[in-house]
Amino acid sequence: MTRTLFHGLCAFPMTPADAEGHVEASAFAGIIERLVTADVDSIGLLGSTGIYAYLTREERRRAIRTASDITGGRIPLMVGVGALRTDSAVSLARDAAEEGADALFMAPVAYTPLTEAEIYQHYATVAGATSLPFCIYNNPSTTGFVFTGSLLSRLATVPNIRAVKMPLPANVSVETELSDLRAKSAGAIAIGYSGDWGTADAMLAGADAFYSVAGGILPREMLRMIRAAQSGDEVEVRRIDRSFQALWALFREFGSLRVVYVIARQMGLCDVAPPLPVLPLRDDAHTRIRDAVEEITAIAG
């Protein structure tokens, strides 16, 4: 199929690393190869599940190089370049471009709370550091910053900014928010969502893309839901989504990052722990996770 950046399923894989934060390239290559084989629309490298905030600049670069070597241009690579300092994010953006990234995305990582003026300048500077298309990573649950419609409208005019990754709306429907954002951005940016338990509603509402943690570990199953939504088959979307309900509950209870590490170990993809201070889940959660995945593969696989 013809691929368009910032559309369809963007799969966000984990980045296996040892206790010292060194990327385990062989295991990572295997994870990326699974996404290529599944034929996802794009790969969201070094997102929150990809532990970008816990990796050095050198290890981030190594991860991008490993993924680029595996994809070989077959699947677009969208790479996260979030950092506390603007100059650091600029350097990361240039590194990603040199290592083969096809697009960039960035969360507004901060310690000192940032104003809208500061966020605008930060994004304009980093987006202008390369010629690659750029996605705004709106992730208030980790950054504490909420992008307003007016700020997104301003950023939509910045050269290279082509998309936004939104959290699921809390007080309005996805349809209402999509309509509002598209009007405010004059249709200049693709609008996608994250928060896997909202995949069905967001894609059926007409979101351009879904940025999925589950897609990074269960790509075939998530693709079936995305493709059904793109074809307008709501019955099939809801059927597949029902098989994911136990996993969605686990994501909300424990955080998707911790759950994905358990799934990867159960699948034999890698045997690593989350980066400290994040602790691995206790054994009593593992059976629940295994059962949830088995339900998905039995129904949606």
| 184 noted as active-site residue | no
> What is the arithmetic mean of pLDDT over 154-167?
96
Is the residue at 118 inside a domain?
yes
| Domain-embedded: residue 116 | yes
- pTM of the predicted model, to two decimals? 0.96
- What are the tens digits of pLDDT across the range 6-54? 999 999 999 999 999 999 999 999 999 999 999 999 999 999 999 999 9
* 3-state helix/strand/coil string of the chain: CCCCCCCEEEECCCCCECCCCCECHHHHHHHHHHHHHHCCCEEEECCCCCCHHHCCHHHHHHHHHHHHHHHCCCCCEEEECCCCCHHHHHHHHHHHHHCCCCEEEECCCCCCCCCHHHHHHHHHHHHCCCCCCEEEECCHHHHCCCCCHHHHHHHCCCCCEEEEEECCCCCCCHHHHHHHHHHHCCCCCEEEECCHHHHHHHHHCCCCEEEEHHHHHCHHHHHHHHHHHHCCCHHHHHHHHHHCHHHHHHHHHHCHHHHHHHHHHHCCCCCCCCCCCCCCCCHHHHHHHHHHHHHHHHHCC
Residue 137 among the catalytic residues: yes
Q: Is 220 a domain residue?
A: yes
Per-residue pLDDT at 301: 66
241, part of any domain:
no
Which listed residue (165, 184, 193, 211) is catalytic? 165
In a domain, 35, yes or no: yes
What CATH number does the domain containing 106 carry?
A: 3.20.20.70
Tens-digit pLDDT profile for residues 252-301: 999 999 999 999 999 999 999 999 999 999 999 999 999 999 999 998 76
| 273 lies in some domain | no
Please state the domain count of the chain: 1
Residue numbers of the domain that contains 40: 2-231
> Known binder of ligand: residue 66?
no
Residues 203-256: tens digit of each pLDDT? 999 999 999 999 999 999 999 999 999 999 999 999 999 999 999 999 999 999
Mean pLDDT value across residues 71-97 = 97
Q: What is the pLDDT of residue 1?
A: 43
Residue 173 lies in a domain: yes
Residue 122 lies inside a defined structural domain of this protein: yes
Q: Which of 137, 193, 211, 261 is the catalytic position?
A: 137
